[in-house]
Structure 1
Amino acid sequence: MTIDPRDAGPRPPFPGDQQQERPGLTSRMRPAPDHGETSYVGKGLLIDRVALVTGGDSGIGRAVAIAYAREGADVAISYLPVEQSDAEDTAEWVRKAGRRVLLLPGDLRDPAHCRDLVARTVAELGGLDILVNNAAAQVVNEGLDDVTPEDLEGSFRANVFAMFYLAQAAVPHMKPGGAIVNSTSQQAKVADKTMLVYASTKGAIASLTIGLSNLLAPKGIRVNCVAPGPVWTPIQPIVKDPEQIASLGADTPLGRAGQPAELAPAYVLLASREGSYMTGALVPVTGGTPMY
């Protein structure tokens, strides 16, 4: 059945009065995001592989965890302790797919925690084939003077430094055929004036992806990134005002925000044999907003 992409997910306006405190929970969002719970059908592309997904409790990370499990992978999920309820919901979907799940709360800004994530995944799930660096912190600014040292350091530690620490810990356990998939953003190129710090970290991730792909290609490990546009995840009601929430995605060519389920297939492609000749790539999933 053909589906009109303009109507494949809820269109704005969304209810604007749903702001949340950081880090935000899926259960409080209206309408509920679609993570592929009732729609994603696996094809056996990741049978018996082990994946570590950061930010796997909600949003794109939850959609990726569900898709990977239905493709046959066991999944370790990293998240902040205050996101435990969301993580438990994701874990239940992984179990329903017949796969093992490992819940790993903690703060990715801590290098020791990053190393522990990999060590526990390997010890409890038997190895590590796929690393999905998806977790991110987002801050907004009105002007340049609004950017604080805490914003800069905290965002780069969460969004960029953690990727280095996790890659350093993960690569020694990965065999040829392993894959790293990073989450960048359309902001890496669009760079909205109110997202100076976030856009800077996402630009760094895009460059890191290319450099790391060149470094690891001789080992048979592929490194790629996905660049989402506006997606209906808990990060939105944290940083946007009611008017911005209500109109989220309206300015894209498809006229709506994406749903997390619509991002998951890109992460499956980049982790599976279907993407075997892809490394160093940036895959835009932006509802048509150009990045170049």
Structure 2
Amino acid sequence: MTRENFVTCDWLAARLGEPELGIVDGSWHLPPTGRVGSEEFRLAHIPGAVFFDIDAIADTSTGLPHMLPDETKFADEMTTLGLGDGMRFVVYDSPGLFAAARVWWTLRAFGAEDVAILDGGLPQWRREGRPIESGDAHPRPRSFTPRLNRAFVASLDDVRRTLAAGSAQVVDARPADRFEGRAPEPRPGVRSGHIPGSLNLPFVEIVEHGRLKRGAALNQAFAARGLDLSKPVVTTCGSGVTAAVLALAVEEAGGQVAGLYDGSWSEWGARADCPVATGPATTS
């Protein structure tokens, strides 16, 4: 099946106001930036958009950041946002391509069939002089029926089994210095390093000017880091955000995503029963 994972600003602008279109601002920023997505949404967003807060629409009982919620909570949150069954969803974010991929993955994991990302995100929309509105969103509630597809989600035990069996490549989207253990982790209590046997493809190497690289440039990025797109890929990162960018890239390049490790390094690196490797990835 060929899935269109991106739409252009032209496409979206021509459809603003359509009742079956759900426009979703999924902006999220790393805590050290001091930026808050919800506050920026109130200042400026695409007309008709609602704000999807990945920290709030989450399982907050685990102690891990923005983990997938259960189906009941997700359905309630989607209904409140006016994002219902049968709608087409277009997700964007303020950096261009960052947390929008996490929202894209989340919606698809819960059974939404028609989800795309705005190519270039809010920066491209603004560069083209498209309309902007401010203030809070006031959506009409619409019922959403969640159908969680477990194949989208990899648990810690799934990652262990995958590595033991060699059934897929585990690929980490964190920066190389964190993956190799040369830089400290931003979250307290999380060790430096990486999952033994995993590969490293920093997401900044597949995103350029807020857009996913395409074609030969994307394939070259995979090849340079030892990834074989003929084999399934489990994606991971610090907390499951840029792992979704990597999952998007694998899918766009024609590869198979065998799950996103939701707990990612925030879980693995904090557990004493999980081994940690340092240094560059070892490829065979």
Report the TM-score when normalising by structure 1. Answer: 0.27
Flag the structure with higher helix content.
1
The structure whose RCO (Cα within 8 Å, separation 6+) is larger is 1
